[in-house]
Structure 1
Amino acid sequence: MAEKEIQSLPQSTPNGKEALGDIEVAPEVIEVIAGIATTEVEGIFGTRGTFATGVAEKFGKKVHGKGIKTEWTEDGLIVDVYCVVQYGVAVAHVAREVQRQIRESIENMTDLQTKEVNVHITGVQFEQAANSKAE
């Protein structure tokens, strides 16, 4: 079985600083940054994960990078986010806010520019019926 090649994203040396060596960021770090940024947006219920992330969360492990896919191309960093919104929110507004939040977070934390942030709304979470009957 072929091993997955671990890629890293090179970073530039901050302005006014002497280069002491290479700075590289693993794609998983970008996924975690984007995942946390996504869940901080009001109107987002959560992100879509895989079977493996679901099992990990059942055992109490928080998976911040679930529902996030990153790809480094010659043109730049592409981030795909798969998320579920809460019922009643303006989907277009929430999606734009997710894009803005992810771009800002990645740039502030890693100094990397994103070429694209694609938001995929995979579902709508309705309120629980028990909450509406409690009136």
Structure 2
Amino acid sequence: MLIQSRTESTGDITISNEVLEVISSIAVLETKSVHSLNNTLASGTIEKFGKKYRAKGIRVEDVEGDLKISVYVNLSDDRNVHSIAETIQDNIKTAVNNMLEINISEINIHIVNIIK
């Protein structure tokens, strides 16, 4: 699935959703108090077939031109959950915008577990 496609004077630029998933996962894992990303159904299935899936816990959707990212995350228990979720949203938005100059319409954070 193609997320972003632009036509420049020298040709087309196409960015797949896997690239956005990897950039987002790196931004999430660099956030303080994030324990880990949680497997989604797709990432768990891919890993069962022996392929390494670097963006587990991230789902990118392109809905009528609006880019939506869902993050499934496990947190450590030493901070304010709401504050961590907002920091994750800011980190993803900054990383994607800095690397790809793409605006994201929604970043949804799903706290799956708090690890003690």
Return the TM-score normalized by structure 1.
0.75
Query: Given the superposition, is the C-alpha separation of residues 124 and 53 from structure 1 closer, same or farther in structure 2, using an over 3 Å criterion?
Result: farther
Q: Contact between 1:75 and 1:115, CA under 8 Å: does it hold in 2?
A: no
Return the TM-score normalized by structure 2.
0.86
Q: Select the structure of larger CA radius of gyration.
A: 1
**How many residues in Structure 1 have an aligned counterpart in Structure 2?**
113
**Cα root mean square deviation, aligned:** 2.1
Give 5+ residue unaligned stretches, structure 1. 1-5, 14-18, 127-135
Which residue pairs with 2:73 in the alignment?
A: 83
Indicate the structure with greater strand content.
Answer: 2
- Which amino acid in structure 2 is aligned with residue 7 of structure 1? L
- Distance between the aligned counterparts of 1:72 and 1:121, measured in 2? 22
- Distance between the aligned counterparts of 1:86 and 1:36, measured in 2? 17
Which residue pairs with 2:94 in the alignment?
A: 104
Structure 1 position 73, deviation (Å) = 1.7
Give 5+ residue unaligned stretches, structure 2. none
Could you give the per-residue CA deviations for residues 72-122 of structure 1, whole angstroms, max 9, x where no partner exists? 122521000000000121100100000000000111111110000000000
1:67 aligns with 2:57: yes
Query: Given the superposition, is the C-alpha separation of residues 40 and 12 from structure 1 closer, same or farther in structure 2, using an over 3 Å criterion?
Result: farther
Identity of aligned residues (%): 28
Q: Contact between 2:3 and 2:62, CA under 8 Å: does it hold in 1?
A: no
Q: Contact between 2:2 and 2:14, CA under 8 Å: does it hold in 1?
A: no
SS, match of residue 94 in structure 2: helix
